[in-house]
């Protein structure tokens, strides 16, 4: 059995958008799992480069398997017997279970890879496109990933602009990992959002939001020259991004 024997292997990998190395690890793990389950063995290692599988049989648990292979003369009572299989000659029941295992493991690995990337972006601002609005949440396309803006994180004065296709910036509140993937929680009401939006335009300066009346007014302390023409221009740009929320900027004491 080889990679080509997995029906739709390339299509699966492309559809999930995983790296070839990840797919290869998932395939090896699915074969190892299938063999451990079939032989009820605890030790199995698949090498896709040599197209072999090494499995350890133990006496007396695997006595019948060892006898069926004609290897009983090579093992003593309470001893172990490592056996190397060619992947081209795996038992048919093993081959049949590899594909469903491969799909589940590949999806899990994709979720783990996504989580390792997204967890480092918690507390940052990201641009997204509103995909769909529901009564209690908004789904947001984050360049392929999906974020969720729950109603409790909305700015209620903005409700009318949460429309499909609208491009907005969101604060990443949390990222959680579960068996079926990851959940990216977004916010438009975070106290940190106004300062982070200003910081995204003016990375050389500090911005701290000391108070925010959501959707109405935020007080932000900064080391930037508040009356500078460029600073005022950026402040107005961010104000529009926040649907007209007033940004009162003050110098650090």
Report the topology of domain 193-251.
GMP Synthetase; Chain A, domain 3 (3.30.300)
- Tokens 């990216």 correspond to what residue? 184
| Local confidence band at 7 (pLDDT 50, 70, 90 cut-offs) | low
Q: How far apart are CA 151 and CA 159, in angstroms?
A: 10
Question: Which uninterrupted H or E stretch holds 243?
Answer: none
What's 153-190 look like in SS3?
HCCHHHHHHCCCCCEEEEEEEEEEEECCEEEEEEECCC
Mean pLDDT of 102-125: 88
pLDDT tens, position by position, 29-82: 998 999 999 988 888 999 988 889 898 888 777 778 777 777 665 666 567 878
CATH number for the domain formed by residue range(s) 123-187: 2.40.50.140
pLDDT at 69: 73
d(CA 151, CA 186): 10
Give the start-to-end residue ranges of the domains of the chain.
3-119, 123-187, 193-251
Percentages of the chain per state (helix, strand, coil), in multiples of 5:
40, 30, 30
CA distance 122 to 141: 16
pLDDT of residue 198 exceeding 70, the answer is: yes
CA distance 196 to 179: 32
Q: Tokens 């916010």 label which residue?
A: 187
Average pLDDT over residues 8-12: 65
Answer yes or no: is pLDDT of 242 > 60: yes
């Amino acid at each position: 059995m080889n990679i080509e024997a997995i029906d739709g292997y390339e299509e699966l990998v492309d559809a999930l958008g995983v790296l070839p190395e990840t797919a290869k690890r998932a395939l090896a793990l699915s074969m190892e799992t299938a063999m451990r389950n079939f032989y009820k063995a605890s030790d199995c290692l698949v090498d896709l480069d040599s197209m072999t599988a090494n499995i350890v049989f133990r006496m007396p648990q695997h006595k019948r398997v060892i006898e069926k292979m004609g290897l009983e003369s090579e093992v003593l009572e309470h001893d172990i017997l490592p056996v190397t299989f060619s992947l081209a000659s795996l038992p048919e029941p093993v081959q049949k279970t590899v594909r469903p295992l491969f799909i589940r493991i590949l999806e899990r690995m994709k979720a783990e890879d996504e989580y390792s990337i997204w967890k480092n972006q918690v507390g940052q601002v990201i641009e997204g496109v509103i995909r769909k609005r529901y009564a209690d949440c908004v789904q947001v396309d984050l360049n392929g990933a999906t974020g969720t803006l729950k109603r409790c994180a909305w700015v209620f004065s903005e409700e009318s602009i949460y429309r499909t296709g609208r491009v907005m910036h969101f604060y990443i509140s949390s990222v959680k990992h579960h068996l079926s993937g990851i959940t990216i929680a977004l916010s438009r009401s975070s106290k940190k959002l106004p300062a982070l939006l200003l910081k995204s335009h003016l990375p050389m300066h500090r911005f701290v939001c000391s108070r925010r009346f959501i959707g109405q007014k935020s007080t932000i302390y900064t080391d930037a020259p508040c009356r500078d023409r460029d600073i005022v221009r950026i402040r107005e740009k961010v104000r529009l991004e926040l649907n007209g929320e007033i940004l009162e900027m003050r110098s650090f004491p």
